[in-house]
A and B are shown apart, each in its own frame.
Chain A
């Protein structure tokens, strides 16, 4: 009995010892409620935004018409295919169909998404008066100056904006880490030349270059990612260069080198894992900055091409039609909530990764 207890205790201590530093940080992160909750909310919202057509969209999820089932999410149907009587031209309008079927009462039905409006559809033939329409029970955030539903555009814009920022952050980190690591590890001439190059590249008026490139080639998602990445990797190199300079003077690196480890091994296996802290704790702020960049570009009209739902484009509309307050307030609130939560995450990560515990002495 007592022997059993002893082994139990031993196992427990072993378990405690084997907690990795990353696990420790994750535990610390979970205790920082503001950041942890923001993290859960943002991740859930972002994942859900990929299946957004199930909740928000103009296509019905399921149509039952004359005994057969239709799946408009995967196929497009013509209005005549489904017996639409109002404006029976082109693609079927499932909101019309729903109303029509329930009036006809012949056993046909339409299952619409929870919020039955798409981001790019023009609602002028369904709404009275001139756009922009103010918010109403049907259109929660009103419509924009082309009669498109603002709420749907906001949600789809969230997906595009955050995806954009994540992709740009990811790629600029890879480039920035690689170059910063090389400069810091090899030092000397490589460092001096590399630094001059970075200085030149970093001082180029980045918004100017984007504007110039956008005026030659019509930008799309991929091109904008490439351009922004080309200008965004620089910040990271400073961190990595400094980290590598500091780390390569440590004993464990000398030990690895003296054991005959190749440069490649020393860089990737020994130094890199030890210098990733600033990278990770800086990432949320980089994401915030990249969302900023896309919003600014869209605001100026140099961002994603025309029908793409975007927050910046809505704000631009709002500023030209200053009497239609919802055009500017709703994207602002959406952006604000998103950025605030990401900032909270960043703050919590920074705290979880910070080994310094300050104690006030007095």
Chain B
């Protein structure tokens, strides 16, 4: 099985090259790239300088300046050469410099890590802490009124996209026409530094509550129902009958026998926990005005900040591909019946 996973790890390389190459190519065809933007700025800047100067001239910029700009952004070389240079730098762990922030891409991205990890981890932990026990309880009480009501609630949650739920919460509790309970968004209050320790904790919870709810609402249904079905399936197995017939209490049967096997499909999702570093839906971040990874990715596309776009792509792709393999490894560890070859 070791050889299987070594092969899987090696297969990351072609996949990774494919993904970056395709994205790199697509980015070349987008209008309004950094070169055009820079030329535009020079033009308008020149106009502002000489107020009565010629308006709307495209020839206002000397040829050498254009060449200079092209060299600066690397557009004087053909695409394949640029891609090769980019890959070469990547191997040296150099992601380039952001056009917009004029900082190394790595710094721009890591600056957002704390926010992403915070929301990602809180959402992730809360989802597992709530959903797994809820799923188990629903399975044990299958068919009861509690099961019916909570199922309905879970499906209602499944039918609302996270960002729409967030927007609704903001309208209701963000101090518009209804109640003013929660802040309109942001990661922390502006006077964060002046707050007392308890004030900081309260402020953080205050700002966290609605976004985390929005993050959780989608995965809530999937995980709860997955747990429930998995437990139900195990409860109807022969080994459970054996456990009951040898006189074990219901508690022991469920927690000692059924639960352990039921958690197998759930544990596989843990492999993707490493992607939490980059967590952040830009829809939700846009709604709550949180300066996280999602918003950075979205904004960098709008700004045509290609080094940042590619940087985020590199990190997220690697995390995803490695997460896939980690999930499979976990699967094999938890369930000895599974053999990959």
Contact = CB atoms under 8 A, between A and B. Distances in A.
16 contacts: A200-B22, A204-B19, A205-B316, A208-B309, A211-B298, A211-B302, A215-B32, A315-B167, A325-B178, A328-B171, A335-B159, A336-B159, A342-B159, A343-B155, A343-B158, A358-B236
7 smallest A-B Cβ distances: which pairs? A339-B159, A200-B18, A340-B159, A322-B176, A361-B241, A358-B236, A199-B15
B307 to A, nearest CB: 15
B155 A340 contact: yes
Interface stretch (B23-31, B39-47, B263-271): B23-31
A292 B162 CA distance: 10
A300 interface: yes
B168 interface: yes
A340 B164 CA distance: 14
B171 A322 contact: yes
Contacts of B142: 360
Contact of A359 (B163, B171, B236, B309): B236
Nearest to A197: B18
Main secondary structure of the interface of A (DSSP, over half): helix
B311 interface: no
**Residue with the highest number of chain A CB atoms closer than 10 Å, among B15, B161, B298, B313:** B161
Interface of B: 11, 14-15, 18-19, 22-23, 26-27, 29-32, 142, 155-156, 158-161, 163-164, 167-168, 170-172, 174, 176-178, 184, 232-233, 235-236, 240-241, 244, 250, 283, 286-287, 297-298, 301-302, 309, 313, 316-317, 320-321
Contact of A328 (B11, B160, B168, B233): B168
Given A288-B158, A322-B184, 9 more contacts: A203-B15, A203-B19, A212-B26, A216-B31, A300-B286, A319-B167, A332-B164, A332-B167, A336-B156
Nearest to B165: A332
A329 B177 CA distance: 12
A216 B287 CA distance: 25
A211 B23 CA distance: 13
A70 B168 CA distance: 45
A197 B17 CA distance: 11
Contacts of A199: 15, 18, 321
Contacts of A318: 167, 171
A100 B184 CA distance: 48
A197 B240 CA distance: 43
A323 interface: yes
A360 B235 contact: yes
Contact of A323 (B23, B177, B233, B236): B177
Contact of B171 (A196, A295, A325): A325
Contact of A209 (B15, B26, B178, B316): B26
A65 interface: no
A191 interface: no
A324 B178 CA distance: 11
B14 A196 contact: yes
B15 A299 contact: no
B138 to A, nearest CB: 13
Contacts of B23: 204-205, 208
Contacts of B235: 358, 360-361
A114 to B, nearest CB: 28
Given A360-B235, A362-B244, A329 B168 contact: yes
Main secondary structure of the interface of B (DSSP, over half): helix
A206 to B, nearest CB: 11
Interface of A: 196-197, 199-200, 203-205, 208-209, 211-212, 215-216, 288, 292, 295-296, 299-300, 315, 318-319, 322-325, 328-329, 332, 335-336, 339-340, 342-344, 347, 356, 358-362
**Residue with the highest number of chain A CB atoms closer than 10 Å, among B167, B177, B233:** B167
Given A196-B14, A203-B320, A328-B167, A347 B155 contact: yes
A43 B42 CA distance: 57
Contacts of A322: 170-171, 174, 176, 184
B159 A288 contact: yes
A287 B92 CA distance: 44
B160 A344 contact: no
B30 A212 contact: yes
A95 to B, nearest CB: 29
Nearest to B232: A358
Contacts of A323: 176-177
Contact of A299 (B30, B163, B241): B163
Contacts of A200: 15, 18-19, 22
Contacts of A359: 236
A325 B172 CA distance: 8
Contacts of A329: 168, 171
A296 B174 contact: no
A339 B155 CA distance: 10
A361 B236 contact: yes
Contacts of B18: 196-197, 199-200
A24 B189 CA distance: 59
A79 B14 CA distance: 66
Nearest to B158: A343
B320 A319 contact: no
A200 B167 CA distance: 33
A328 B160 CA distance: 13
Contact of B30 (A215, A319, A360): A215
A66 to B, nearest CB: 49
B144 to A, nearest CB: 12
Contacts of A361: 235-236, 240-241, 244
A335 B168 CA distance: 12
B250 A362 contact: yes
Contact of B317 (A203, A212, A315): A203
A296 B283 CA distance: 8
B29 to A, nearest CB: 7
A325 B233 CA distance: 45
Contact of A344 (B14, B155, B298): B155
A215 B287 CA distance: 22
Nearest to B30: A212
Contacts of A216: 29-31
Contacts of B170: 319, 322
